[in-house]
């Protein structure tokens, strides 16, 4: 299996992800509660990653199909015994077959939001729900600014700093409404997030494609430049790093 195209051409490594980003699934508990999973609910987990939250959906009684654009992630999810399939969220291949489409920390990688929403709408039965949480407006703003500054300093491309879709509730809500959803709830949730392996671990996990633009011999210097720029804002006096996460969470129903 090869990687399917997605924003920033991020090539995921499930082992690196597990080491540096286990918190992503742990912080998904609130959106999981919004999903209100019950026995027999037919669920599509969109952007399932390594399957950590997919397992929770199954444990709660859901009949879950999980999709992800990363071969490494699909492999990790399958190793948990899950029905995980490699598929782009921007080209979903389902028609009228799910009661719930669930997604955590994945939609910001899918920059063609209208294609995602259209595919989710098609995948749901009438009255089915789309419940998701992802990066919203101002998410990782300080980190993106440091990446842009480093690109300018080291002769890189500042456009590679922030390849994500981080909309406002108004903008994303309008897209959902225009596509035939009734939006019950949508809001931004500031969530400063402690990074267990520091800023360097976060950068290695989530911005790999940004660093690939630099010569191998220069990459450590670029990482150090970014870490030094962010330290006064995002690292406390005990050395604990916190990322400036802002989530957008919503609950919408297919009309």
Q: Which stretch binds ligand BEZ (CB under 6 A): 35-43, 82-90, 132-140, 222-230?
A: 132-140
Q: Is 245 in the site for ligand BEZ (CB under 6 A)?
A: yes
Our finding on whether 140 is near ligand BEZ (CB under 6 A) is: yes
**6 sits near ligand BEZ (criterion: CB under 6 A):** no
- Determine the interface stretch with ligand BEZ among 50-58, 124-132, 134-142, 234-242 (rule: CB under 6 A): 134-142
For the segment 7-66, give every residue that binds ligand BEZ (CB under 6 A).
none
Residue 34 and residue 190 in contact, taking contact as beta carbons nearer than 8 Å: no
Q: Tokens 């994945």 appear where? A: 106
Q: Name the one range near ligand BEZ by CB under 6 A: 51-59, 72-80, 124-132, 135-143.
A: 135-143
DSSP, collapsed to helix, strand or coil, labels residue 218 as helix
Does position 72 interact with ligand BEZ (CB under 6 A)? The reply is no
Residue 105 touching ligand BEZ (CB under 6 A) = yes
Give the nearest distance from C-beta 17 to ligand BEZ in angstroms: 10
Contact present, 46 and 102 (Cβ < 8 Å):
yes
Residue, CB closest to ligand BEZ? 135
Residue ranges in the chain assigned as alpha helix (H): 14-21, 23-26, 29-35, 52-59, 71-79, 113-123, 141-154, 169-178, 198-206, 208-211, 219-234
Q: CA nearest 95: which of 118, 66, 124, 67?
A: 124
């Amino acid at each position: 299996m090869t990687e399917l195209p997605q924003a920033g051409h991020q090539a995921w490594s499930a082992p690196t992800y597990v080491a540096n980003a286990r918190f992503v699934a742990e912080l998904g508990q609130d959106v999981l509660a919004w999903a209100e999973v019950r026995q027999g609910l037919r669920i599509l987990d969109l952007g399932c990653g390594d399957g950590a939250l997919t397992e929770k959906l199954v444990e709660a009684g859901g009949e879950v199909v999980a999709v992800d654009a990363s071969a490494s992630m699909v492999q990790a999810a399958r190793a948990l015994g899950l029905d995980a399939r490699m598929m782009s969220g921007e080209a979903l291949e389902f028609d009228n077959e799910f009661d719930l489409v669930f997604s955590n920390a994945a939609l910001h990688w899918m920059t063609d939001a209208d294609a995602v929403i259209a595919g989710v709408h098609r995948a749901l039965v009438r009255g089915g729900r789309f419940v998701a949480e992802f990066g919203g407006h101002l998410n990782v703003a300080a980190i993106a600014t440091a990446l842009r500054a480093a690109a300018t300093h080291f002769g890189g491309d500042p456009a590679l700093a922030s390849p994500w879709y981080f909309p406002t509730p108004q903008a994303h809500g309008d897209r959902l409404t225009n596509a035939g959803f009734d939006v019950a709830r949508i809001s931004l949730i500031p969530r400063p997030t402690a990074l267990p392996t520091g800023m360097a671990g976060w950068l290695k996990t989530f911005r790999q494609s940004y660093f690939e633009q630099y010569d191998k011999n220069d990459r450590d210097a670029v990482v150090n430049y970014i870490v030094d720029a962010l330290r006064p804002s995002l690292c406390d006096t005990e050395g604990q790093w916190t990322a400036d996460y802002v989530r957008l969470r919503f609950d919408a129903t297919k009309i």
